[in-house]
Structure 1
Amino acid sequence: MLHAFSFSVSVTAPIILMMILGYIFKRRDMISAEFIRSGSSLVFNVTLPCLLFLNIATADVAALIQVKLLATAGLITLASVGLLWIYARNMAGPQRGVFVQGAYRGNMGIIGLATIVNAFGHEALAPAGVYLAIMVILYNVLAIAVLSAAQPKAEQSLLKGMAYSMFSNPLFLAIVFGLCLALIGLRLPEWLTTSGRYLANMTLPLALLCIGGSLSLDRLKGNRSLIFQASAAKLVILPLLSVLIGALLGFRGLNLGILYLMMATPSATASFVMARQMRGDADLAADIIAITTIFSALTTTFGLVGLKASGLI
């Protein structure tokens, strides 16, 4: 058990520390709101796509596409969204869609990849990146569906714009181009790869600092009962069910680790943007993001202790 706890802390502690530093730096005016905005944009549009592209382009494609894992994750997500939608049937329209989105949609691109790298090493980035690409599409489609269904009338122009935004997502495009290069066996020049690595290596530290700097509990304005219900579903119920189903299906090691760590991530920051664009309760979305981000370190650590102690990873 001591070994399992030590392993879990080694995975989550660096992430916690970087977010705490981001929070401290922001409170001491060492980084500004503009820095956080620009840094987050740089991560999403440049450094994270570089990280995913380079790791996938140089990997064994056949080993990346785990059909059973992807199908399982997709079915779990679909089922969870259906159950959450039923559970939230008595909520007000602007809250219902936001509640469901906040309870299933995780920050896989930053927190998920960071914990997977800490747990399994950089070689896990390629299969995790393919998982991310497929699930990003599913997450966006479901988010549009639940937020639109919660409105009296769907806005078709907005739905088209969101669909366009999804398929022009830099992370998705980087993964697709990386897979293409890996399939044809094309290798980039060494100087270009080295330059790309410089950018890629900035990703996780910069992203975690920006997440920490943007955290605030002062803005908790929404229904606190809904906030904590959504947070419990996101951080405890969904990851636990995913592990149970995955273990029953025979997943072990890296595959089970990817499934668990991606499902255990805090609510995605993109859920706030989408909630605001689709006239949902944006304050509720922001509150769910804040609470899940703060408590995910604790829940993920205990989850990893259980998986490691039981020999599943």
Structure 2
Amino acid sequence: MPVFERLMALLGLLMVGTGLRVTGVLDDNRAAQLNTLTYYVALPALIFISTYQRSISALLSPALLEGLVLVVVVTVGLAWLIHRNAATQYRSVALVQSYHSNLGYLGLPLVAATFEPRVTAIASVILGVVSLIQVPLTVLILTTMSGTDTRFLNELQRLITNPVLVSLLVGLAVGSTGLAVPSVVASGLDAIGTLALPLALLCVGSSLKVDLSAVDLSATGWVVALKNGCMPALAWGVFSLLTVNPATFTASVVMFGTPTAVSTFVYANELGGDEQFASLNVFITTLISTGTLFVLIRLVS
């Protein structure tokens, strides 16, 4: 399927998810069940099947690790400078939503549906490495700037034991040790993994809520500029200078080109941030990403 048609299908599934929520088909209970199926079954299957035949040394190079850390750190620094004068109620959310990417529910499934298996395998590693950076950083920023008394260590424990990271570690362990996986198991996991993108898009769509009366054009505009524009451009520049292989370059640029993660709304709601503002930014960056991702995918292809 051509890139434009694939992204239009992506946007269509997002809108279907939103429509199902508005009409009550995806109520809170059903949405939670769909999210559980995606997070605990489909995404781990996709990650395992993309990594179990490859060793960690073939996927995680020093240049990749250096580039991932550099892109995140520089984006956080820019966001801090830009949002330091934002209204108090928006500042912490605007900061974290400028760098916290939707790597799991949009990035990895989109890469898997668009590029060859090696690119998907590297994207799985990027998901794991960047999650270990951006999730603790987001929790730390929100709790510090909002003054919320929260269970920071519990949040870290949830991160370390989440099924996405566990499936990545298991896949890399199998690939690095050369353990054989029965073909019937591999075929079954591959079939389940193909459900990751449509299920994830329905989950994201069902979570998108927007209150236009709450729009702060300046704060939201800077979030969009940093997340949809600056971060993938920075990734392009960094990984060009690091002279990584084409698969690593492609996976890195596309993954960093994803919109703000839906989980930032959850964190804002739990950790004292402005949840209306957070929801708006997720909606706007996701909508705009259908266009920016089209451009990025065409360029890297």
Common fold by TM > 0.5? yes
Q: 1:213 to 1:168 in 2, by over 3 A?
A: same
2:271 is aligned, of 256, 271, 278, to 278
Q: 1:234 to 1:179 in 2, by over 3 A?
A: same
Q: Equivalent residue for 1:126?
A: 121
Mean Cα displacement is larger for which, 250-259 or 274-283? Answer: 250-259
Write out per-residue CA displacement over residues 159-192 of structure 1, whole angstroms, 9 at most, x where no aligned residue. 1111111111111111111111222211233333
Whole-Å separation in 1 of the counterparts to 2:190 and 2:50? 10
Q: 1:178 to 1:219 in 2, by over 3 A?
A: farther
Write out per-residue CA displacement over residues 222-250 of structure 1, whole angstroms, 9 at most, x where no aligned residue. 53321222122110122112212322333
AA of the residue aligned to 1:289 = V
Q: Equivalent residue for 1:57?
A: 52
Whole-Å separation in 1 of the counterparts to 2:247 and 2:173? 24
Q: Check conservation: 1:111, 1:265, Cα contact below 8 A.
A: yes
Q: 1:141 to 1:73 in 2, by over 3 A?
A: same
Q: Check conservation: 1:114, 1:204, Cα contact below 8 A.
A: yes
Q: Equivalent residue for 1:255?
A: 248
What's the Cα RMSD here? 2.4
Q: Check conservation: 1:101, 1:271, Cα contact below 8 A.
A: yes
Q: Equivalent residue for 1:229?
A: 222
Mean Cα displacement is larger for which, 61-70 or 263-272? Answer: 61-70
Q: Equivalent residue for 2:65?
A: 70
Q: Check conservation: 1:8, 1:302, Cα contact below 8 A.
A: no
Whole-Å separation in 2 of the counterparts to 1:239 and 1:167? 26
For structure 2, the 5+ residue unaligned runs are none
For the pair 1:83 / 2:78, whether they are aligned, the reply is yes
Whole-Å separation in 2 of the counterparts to 1:94 and 1:40? 29
Deviation at 1:287, TM superposition (A): 1.0
For the pair 1:245 / 2:238, whether they are aligned, the reply is yes
Whole-Å separation in 1 of the counterparts to 2:210 and 2:152? 31
2:13 is aligned, of 7, 10, 18, to 18
Q: How many residues align?
A: 301
Q: Check conservation: 2:55, 2:173, Cα contact below 8 A.
A: no
Q: Equivalent residue for 1:116?
A: 111
AA of the residue aligned to 1:107 = N
For the pair 1:165 / 2:155, whether they are aligned, the reply is no
Write out per-residue CA displacement over residues 61-117 of structure 1, whole angstroms, 9 at most, x where no aligned residue. 332113212211211111211221122222344422211111101100121113312
Q: 1:282 to 1:29 in 2, by over 3 A?
A: closer
Q: Check conservation: 2:208, 2:283, Cα contact below 8 A.
A: yes
Kindly report which structure 2 residues correspond to 1:132-143, keeping only aligned pairs within 5 A, or say none: 132-143=127-138
AA of the residue aligned to 1:38 = Q
What TM-score do the two structures reach when normalised by structure 1? Answer: 0.87
Q: Equivalent residue for 1:101?
A: 96
For the pair 1:180 / 2:173, whether they are aligned, the reply is yes
Q: Check conservation: 2:123, 2:252, Cα contact below 8 A.
A: no
Mean Cα displacement is larger for which, 118-127 or 129-138? Answer: 118-127
AA of the residue aligned to 2:48 = F
AA of the residue aligned to 1:299 = T
Whole-Å separation in 2 of the counterparts to 1:271 and 1:108? 12
Q: Check conservation: 1:234, 1:264, Cα contact below 8 A.
A: yes
Q: Check conservation: 2:143, 2:272, Cα contact below 8 A.
A: no
Q: Check conservation: 1:94, 1:279, Cα contact below 8 A.
A: no
SS at match of 2:34: helix
Q: Equivalent residue for 1:191?
A: 184
Q: Check conservation: 2:140, 2:152, Cα contact below 8 A.
A: no
SS at match of 2:235: helix
Matched-pair identity in %: 25
